[in-house]
Chain A
Amino acid sequence: MIIGTAAERLDAREKVTGAARYVSDLVVPEMLHAKVWRAPVPHARLLGVDGSRAARSPGVVAVCTATDLPVKRLHYGPAFKDQPILAHEIIRYAGEPVVAVVADTERHAAAALALIDVSYRELPAVTSAAEALAQGAPVLHPALDRSGHFRDLSGLRPVAGTNVCQHYHYDRGDVARAFAEADLTVEDVYHYPALSHHALEAHCAVARVDGDGLTVWTGTQHPFPVRKELAEVFDLPLAAVQVIVPLIGGAFGGKCYTKIEPLAAALAARVRRSALTITRHAVTVRLRTAVRSDGTLLARECDVVLDTGAYADIGPRVATKAGYRAPGPYRIPCLSIDARCVYTNNVPAGAYRGYGVPQVTWASESQMDQIAERLGLDPLAFREKNLLKRGEEYVAGDTPMDGDMADALAQTGAAIDWGRARERGRGVGLACAMKDGGGTHTVSTAAVRVNADGSVTLLTGSVEMGQGSRTALAQIAAETLGVPLSAIVVESPDTSITPYDHGTSASRSTTVMGLAVEAAARDARGQLLELAAKFFGTEPEKLAIHDGVVACGERTMTVGDVVSGHFGLVGGEVTGLGTFVPGTWSGSLGGATLFWEVGMGAAEVQVDADTGEISVEKYVSVADVGQAINARECAAQDEGAAMQAIGPALFESRVSEAGHLVNPGLIDYRVPTFADLPRELETVLIENRDGPGPFGSKGVGEGGTFCPAPAIANAVARATGVRIKDLPMTPERVWRALRDARGTRRG
């Protein structure tokens, strides 16, 4: 068995030794370097750019503004074509690229930036979603042009004349009546801050234009959508645009869809630059829940507002998904959900690991504990009573719940020793969540090439960004083909060579690409058996392949001998192809959910009442993976996700004042480090082999980010009686809440 083992990562050695190569390591002959002059203010009308001094600076080849770019379309974006490659007429956020300098070296390009003279007139800035929704707020994008790239985005509902670029609404049941008849109604507002992805590798792209068209090397999670975007920007056929993705040094959603590629490509040829361009949405959730005194959930009203910044990017889809997932993994007869994605003059926000789930789960799982407390119910039992059972529908028409959440919850409770009483100042809390995993109506294709020596080349468009997709996909191919893992080489995505893939996001690669790889390997295996059967003079069904050897009873032949024997020792190969196309078309997201990614978590905390400091003594993260292809990688993904989510739970946030980021850089914007590890961190993998992916697998990698914040907040509430509704739960915030609570009790 190769599946389910803790096989060593295929890229472990090259990464640990530093041999791994990323886009910024790439040197293309005659390569030039670009640097960008960024807007110093959040909102302004551009009056003019004087680049003449910069143009005379040593080594400078070109100084470009929006109007200098040789493009057919200046604007791009996966939902709306609202984002200019360089700011045109209007500056919409502080840090927006306005002028690009191309020079022989990065240093010369950077030096020339100081010589650029830009004149502009400041406009009133919209610095929060609340300001953007207020009466009389400046409308940042009066007209919107739909991109039409993704089927689920064809139904976007921007609200004309406002800053709302998507308003998702869903309702069912008689919500008003449910609230009128409820024994208890709880209503609260929760806030989740804006975050930066802070992948180790910054954004970087290298572009080359020649007679054959355009080639771009870039660290994107979406090579094929980037190809489509570039084809539209330059009005080229898809085949004339080549997007190549080497290893990526972390992404977390920050490298989804098109980012700096059009700029690199538009700066004519052979250009290189790097930049930080995207954030996680700051979200405010107003949540109102109606419940019977026995703990039966009756209705929920969710009002979710996302600050998407100056350009929509994929924000509208994040809003839709956040709204869709806001009620939580429960059986709730009546729902009314509104999710609005709002333009502001902040840095654009986009995809970030979990796609809205961490934000809405912060609200819904906090409130679940508040309800349990008000009703005097055990939070675990209260959740269990309402969790969807296997086979139950979340929303009519969508895929029914495919996992055993009650079992996952029980395992969560057991791992944290839920029933044990804790000493003063200590508490345990838990949370559960799910998201529709795998992406909505997404396609993957894979090719397996069995070479004449028995080695195997696996061609996929899946991007290795640290998550271990190469290893998992190689394991699936090796297991299906019957060859050793060491026989497989996985190629990097190259849109001109590797077959089509939607992208590496939504925890989809192991499941969706995995199915394509499995199909391709099965196709190749069938061909190999056909060929081998001729040599053995038997039927293919009588043969087996194991560890690279085809066996017919006692007689054996290596896979390499079969291939080379067939082609007469001169070479040749057997090529298998596999495609995954989703079959059903239903559900309110425009396609049925492939699988439900269930993530649960439990925290034990100690609170220092003097300082307000929360110390996480233990955190348990539970992931339903169906079947682990590589148990070690699954656990690593889940641990990494949980650690990443502990950041905004305790200390991480983008702090802005009047549209300016006041904590840039990793000194003042703190991400979790090893010092922030809980005293104990445990991952529980649920493996019921009930997923749609190869060998019963489900996607993993985002679920660990859902629950840390609410689990910790619930533990803090149980330890201290204090409920925090705004993240991060900094020591000062906890201290103030404790002080206010003491004041209230005394008063």
Chain B
Amino acid sequence: MLGEFDLVEPTSVAEASEVLARHGDAARIYAGGTELILAMKEGLIRYDYLVNVKTIPGLAGVRVNDDGTLRIGGATSHRALERDPLVRERFPVIARMESDVANVRVREVGTLGGNLCFAEPHADPGTLLMLFDATVRIERKGGARTIPLEQLFVGPFETCLEPDEVLTEIVVPPLPVHSGSAYLKFGFLERPSVGVGVAVTTDDGRVREARIAVGCVGPVPRRMREAEAALAGQTAAESRNTLAEAGRIAARASDAITDLHGSADYKEHLVGVLLRRAFEQALASSDGSGAP
């Protein structure tokens, strides 16, 4: 059963950072708790203080800059993203991915920042957002820094956040014009076994750029730049022939592990299958409208 802890509800990020700094390992950010509380109930981890960042004014919310960049507050719930009109219009692939995260109860209380910072490998958002070269803003009392999302993940359940840092914002630049994107996942347990995101930018019938991200199979989600390079510059017809090779490259690079979700070789195979399917979908939606 859930052990006892104090719930701290700061009113600013600086205050949250201060509380976290004061209690060190005894404190942890609560940003929805859909993973954290499960682990605490199981007795796997224990904290004396949970610091609720969901009640900090201004930390939840979605806006789009004039240049089309999507800015998501760290405490924005999956459900809010799934239903947000701007996200659905400008970043439909993100809205779709969010609408398929876990179940509606998790989506209602779980937040995007919480999801990224818990760094559970079998998760969807990190993989997809990498396609957009998303960055995250990280704040602490008296300072802030912005890093590429790719650098956030260090290992399973491990990020580069310092104990007193709070992820406050996820910044998602739009894809170039003539881009299409897709995110596909596959699994048979509650969490996905494999997640693959693909974004394709076309230019006069050629693949100007392909972006590929793979998650769930290995310790952290990551971009597959070698596989991306294999597809860049090809005609649509050529790229289809190259997909199998790109899939093999991505599979090798994914650091697949054998666990309850499947054997490593099966997951590597699935990376290739999902890459091919996601690429076809992304290519089909790169119709020049610019909306991925």
Give chain A's interface residues, CB within 8 Å of chain B: 106-107, 110-111, 610-611, 613, 650-651, 655, 662-663, 665-668, 670, 730-732, 735-736
A107 touches B4 (CB 8 A): yes
B188 touches A670 (CB 8 A): yes
Is B270's beta carbon under 8 Å from chain A?
yes
Known: A650-B188, A667-B189, A667-B190. A735 touches B266 (CB 8 A): yes
Give the nearest-CB partner of B273 in chain A: A610
A667 touches B1 (CB 8 A): no
A665 touches B42 (CB 8 A): yes
Which residues of A sit under 8 angstroms from B38, Cβ to Cβ? 665, 667
B188 touches A651 (CB 8 A): yes
Which residues of B sit under 8 angstroms from A662, Cβ to Cβ? 260
Known: A610-B273, A611-B273, A665-B42. A107 touches B1 (CB 8 A): yes
Which residues of A sit under 8 angstroms from B269, Cβ to Cβ? 735
Which residues of B sit under 8 angstroms from A667, Cβ to Cβ? 38, 189-191
B1 touches A670 (CB 8 A): no
Select which of B188, B191, B273 is within 8 A of A730 by beta carbon: B188
Known: A107-B4, A110-B1, A611-B186. A668 touches B260 (CB 8 A): yes
Q: Which of B4, B188, B189, B266 has the most CB of A within 10 A?
A: B188
Give the nearest-CB partner of A663 in chain B: B260
A611 touches B190 (CB 8 A): no
Give the nearest-CB partner of B186 in chain A: A611
Closest 7 CB pairs of A and B: A610-B273, A732-B266, A651-B188, A667-B190, A670-B189, A732-B262, A110-B1
Which residues of B sit under 8 angstroms from A731, Cβ to Cβ? 186, 188, 262
CA distance A619 to B42 in the complex (A): 37
Taking the closest CB of chain B, its distance from the CB of A330, in whole angstroms, is 34
Known: A107-B4, A610-B273, A611-B270. A670 touches B263 (CB 8 A): no
CA distance A662 to B269 in the complex (A): 25
Which residues of B sit under 8 angstroms from A613, Cβ to Cβ? 186, 188
CA distance A730 to B270 in the complex (A): 14
Give the nearest-CB partner of B35 in chain A: A667
Which residues of B sit under 8 angstroms from A110, Cβ to Cβ? 1, 3
A732 touches B263 (CB 8 A): yes
Taking the closest CB of chain A, its distance from the CB of B186, in whole angstroms, is 6
Which residues of A sit under 8 angstroms from B191, Cβ to Cβ? 667
Which residues of A sit under 8 angstroms from B262, Cβ to Cβ? 730-732
CA distance A610 to B67 in the complex (A): 40
CA distance A613 to B273 in the complex (A): 12
Which residues of A sit under 8 angstroms from B188, Cβ to Cβ? 613, 650-651, 670, 730-731
Taking the closest CB of chain A, its distance from the CB of B260, in whole angstroms, is 6
Q: Which of A107, A110, A655, A732 has the most CB of B within 10 A?
A: A732
Taking the closest CB of chain A, its distance from the CB of B32, in whole angstroms, is 16
Binary A-proximity of B258-276 (CB < 8 A = 1, otherwise 0): 0010110010011001000
CA distance A735 to B265 in the complex (A): 11
B273 touches A106 (CB 8 A): no
CA distance A662 to B189 in the complex (A): 14
Taking the closest CB of chain A, its distance from the CB of B123, in whole angstroms, is 13
Binary A-proximity of B71-111 (CB < 8 A = 1, otherwise 0): 00000000000000000000000000000000000000000
B190 touches A666 (CB 8 A): yes
CA distance A655 to B191 in the complex (A): 16
B260 touches A655 (CB 8 A): yes
Identify 11 residue pairs between A and B in the complex whose beta-carbon atoms are under 8 Å apart, listed by A's number. Answer: A111-B4, A610-B273, A651-B189, A665-B38, A667-B190, A667-B191, A668-B190, A731-B186, A732-B263, A735-B269, A736-B266
Give the nearest-CB partner of B262 in chain A: A732
CA distance A667 to B37 in the complex (A): 13
Q: Which of B4, B42, B191, B270 has the most CB of A within 10 A?
A: B270
Which residues of B sit under 8 angstroms from A665, Cβ to Cβ? 38, 42
Identify which of residues 269-287 in chain B touch chain A, using a CB-to-CB cut-off of 8 Å.
269-270, 273
Taking the closest CB of chain A, its distance from the CB of B228, in whole angstroms, is 22
Which residues of A sit under 8 angstroms from B266, Cβ to Cβ? 732, 735-736
Which residues of B sit under 8 angstroms from A655, Cβ to Cβ? 260
CA distance A542 to B186 in the complex (A): 71
**Told that A610-B273, A668-B260, A731-B262 touch, could you supply 20 new A-B pairs with CB distance under 8 A?**
A107-B1, A111-B4, A611-B186, A613-B186, A651-B188, A662-B260, A663-B260, A665-B42, A667-B38, A667-B189, A667-B190, A667-B191, A668-B190, A730-B188, A731-B186, A731-B188, A732-B262, A732-B263, A735-B266, A735-B269
A111 touches B189 (CB 8 A): no
Taking the closest CB of chain B, its distance from the CB of A728, in whole angstroms, is 8
Taking the closest CB of chain A, its distance from the CB of B124, in whole angstroms, is 15
Give the nearest-CB partner of B38 in chain A: A667
CA distance A613 to B262 in the complex (A): 13
Known: A611-B273, A662-B260, A732-B266. A106 touches B1 (CB 8 A): yes
CA distance A731 to B261 in the complex (A): 10
Which residues of A sit under 8 angstroms from B273, Cβ to Cβ? 610-611
CA distance A127 to B221 in the complex (A): 36
CA distance A119 to B235 in the complex (A): 69
Give the nearest-CB partner of B187 in chain A: A731
Q: Which of A650, A651, A670 has the most CB of B within 10 A?
A: A670
Which residues of B sit under 8 angstroms from A732, Cβ to Cβ? 262-263, 266
Give the nearest-CB partner of B189 in chain A: A670
Binary A-proximity of B189-212 (CB < 8 A = 1, otherwise 0): 111000000000000000000000
Which residues of B sit under 8 angstroms from A736, Cβ to Cβ? 266
Taking the closest CB of chain A, its distance from the CB of B266, in whole angstroms, is 5
Which residues of B sit under 8 angstroms from A670, Cβ to Cβ? 188-190
Taking the closest CB of chain B, its distance from the CB of A726, in whole angstroms, is 15
A668 touches B189 (CB 8 A): yes
Taking the closest CB of chain A, its distance from the CB of B97, in whole angstroms, is 17
Which residues of A sit under 8 angstroms from B263, Cβ to Cβ? 732
CA distance A667 to B35 in the complex (A): 11
Which residues of B sit under 8 angstroms from A730, Cβ to Cβ? 188, 262
Q: Which of A662, A663, A666, A667 has the most CB of B within 10 A?
A: A667
Taking the closest CB of chain B, its distance from the CB of A396, in whole angstroms, is 45
Taking the closest CB of chain A, its distance from the CB of B237, in whole angstroms, is 21
Identify which of residues 155-202 in chain B touch chain A, using a CB-to-CB cut-off of 8 Å.
186, 188-191
Which residues of B sit under 8 angstroms from A666, Cβ to Cβ? 190
Give the nearest-CB partner of A609 in chain B: B273
CA distance A459 to B225 in the complex (A): 72
CA distance A696 to B1 in the complex (A): 49
CA distance A610 to B276 in the complex (A): 11
CA distance A14 to B3 in the complex (A): 32
CA distance A545 to B245 in the complex (A): 81
Give the nearest-CB partner of A675 in chain B: B103
Taking the closest CB of chain A, its distance from the CB of B181, in whole angstroms, is 21
Give the nearest-CB partner of A651 in chain B: B188
CA distance A611 to B194 in the complex (A): 11
Which residues of B sit under 8 angstroms from A106, Cβ to Cβ? 1
Which residues of A sit under 8 angstroms from B190, Cβ to Cβ? 666-668, 670
Give the nearest-CB partner of A35 in chain B: B1
Give the nearest-CB partner of A730 in chain B: B188
Identify which of residues 1-38 in chain B touch chain A, using a CB-to-CB cut-off of 8 Å.
1, 3-4, 38
CA distance A216 to B263 in the complex (A): 47
Which residues of B sit under 8 angstroms from A610, Cβ to Cβ? 273
Give the nearest-CB partner of A676 in chain B: B188
Taking the closest CB of chain B, its distance from the CB of A97, in whole angstroms, is 16
Taking the closest CB of chain B, its distance from the CB of A111, in whole angstroms, is 7
Q: Which of B42, B262, B269 has the most CB of A within 10 A?
A: B269
CA distance A662 to B61 in the complex (A): 39
CA distance A663 to B262 in the complex (A): 13
Give the nearest-CB partner of B102 in chain A: A667
CA distance A731 to B266 in the complex (A): 10
Taking the closest CB of chain B, its distance from the CB of A218, in whole angstroms, is 20
Which residues of A sit under 8 angstroms from B1, Cβ to Cβ? 106-107, 110
CA distance A613 to B269 in the complex (A): 13
CA distance A611 to B266 in the complex (A): 9
Q: Which of A613, A665, A731 has the most CB of B within 10 A?
A: A731
Give the nearest-CB partner of B43 in chain A: A114
Give the nearest-CB partner of B194 in chain A: A611
